Amino acid sequence: MKKISIVFGVSVFFFSSCLSSRAIELSADLAEQQQGYYHSILDRDFTVLAHRGGLYDDAVENTYESFKNAVDIGVDIIETDLHLTSDGVVVAFHDSSIDRVSESRGKIAWMTYSQLLDVDLVHYTTDNLKVTGKIISFEQLLEEFPNTIFNVDMKARSNKLVESVGKILERHQAFDRVCVASFFTANIELFRKLYPFAVTSFSTSEFLYIHQQYKRGRDLKQKDLPAFVLQVPHKLWGTTYVDRGFVEYVHRHGILIHVWTINCPEEMRYLIEIGVDGIVTDFPSLCFEVLNTL
C-alpha cells in the first residue's frame, strides 16, 4: 500500500496540533471521524473521483441519477460543488446559475430551494434524446448515499455557506467521509477555524505556494501543511503543474495528490504511471479501464 505510513504520520501530527488551537468545543467523535476519513482514503492504492458525479447518457450531472451511476460502477469518491440558495439550503451544483443545464434562467443565490426543485435540469443523449433531473440538496445527498465518500467544493465566497456546510456535516456525523475544498482561501481558513478536525484540501493560493517552493528547490515547513491532499490541474494556461518531480516532492512531504479534470486515456495513463494518488474525471468507467491495463 503506497505512501500510507508517511501520509498518516503527517496527518496525525496535524490532527494532534489542532487539539490546542480549536476555535469551538467539538466532541471526541469528531476526532474519530477525521481519523476514519484518513483510513478510508489511505486504504486505496489509487482513487477515482467522479467529477460532478460523472457524465452519463442517461443522467444529468450533479443529480441523484448521476451520483447513483457513480456509486453503482464502484467509484471511490464523488466530487461535487456546493452553493447556497436564497433561503439557506446548501445544494450540490457546479455553476452559479441554472442557465447551462436547464431551459430556465436564474442565479442559485437568488432562488429558493422550492423554486429550484420546480426546474428540470436537462441533458441530451448522444441520440439527442432529452433526459431530465432535479437539483439535490447536500443534506439529501448524504442521506441517500450514507456509505459514499464525497469531495465537496464550496463554490461561492460566503461565510454563511461555510458555516452551513459545517453544520450539515455535524448533524450527519459525516466528517469521516467528506473532504471540504474551495478555491477561496478565506472559505477554507474559516472552515478550518470552525472545524479544526475536518479534512480539507489545499486552497488555490496554498497550492501555488507549494508549487513555487518545489520550483525553488525548498522544503516545506509544518506551517505550510494545513491539509493532506492537493487537488490540482495537470496543466493550466500553458503551465504544467504536475510532473514526476512534483509528485515525488509532495509525497516526500506527506501530501496526497489528485489531478483534475482528466478525460483522455493517454493522460490518465501518464499521471497514474508518475504516481498521482487519484484522478478526477467526467468518465470514471474510462479511468477504471485504463487502470485495468496497467
Long-range CB pairs of 143-148, under 8 A, 24+ apart, other chains included: 143/172, 144/64, 144/67, 145/67, 145/68, 145/71, 145/78, 147/177, 148/67, 148/71, 148/77, 148/78, 148/177
Q: What is the pTM of this model?
A: 0.87
Which pLDDT does position 33 carry in this prediction?
A: 61
pLDDT above 70 as % of the chain: 85
Which residue reads 492537493 in cell numbers? 230
Strand 121-124 relative to strand 130-133, pairing: antiparallel
Pull the grid cell for residue 258.
489528485
Q: What is the mean pLDDT of residues 219-234?
A: 92
Which domains, and CATH codes, for the chain? 4-293 (3.20.20.190)
Q: What tens digit of pLDDT does each residue of 253-265 get?
A: 989 999 999 999 9
Q: What tens digit of pLDDT does each residue of 94-151 get?
A: 999 999 999 999 999 999 999 999 999 999 998 999 999 999 999 999 999 999 999 9
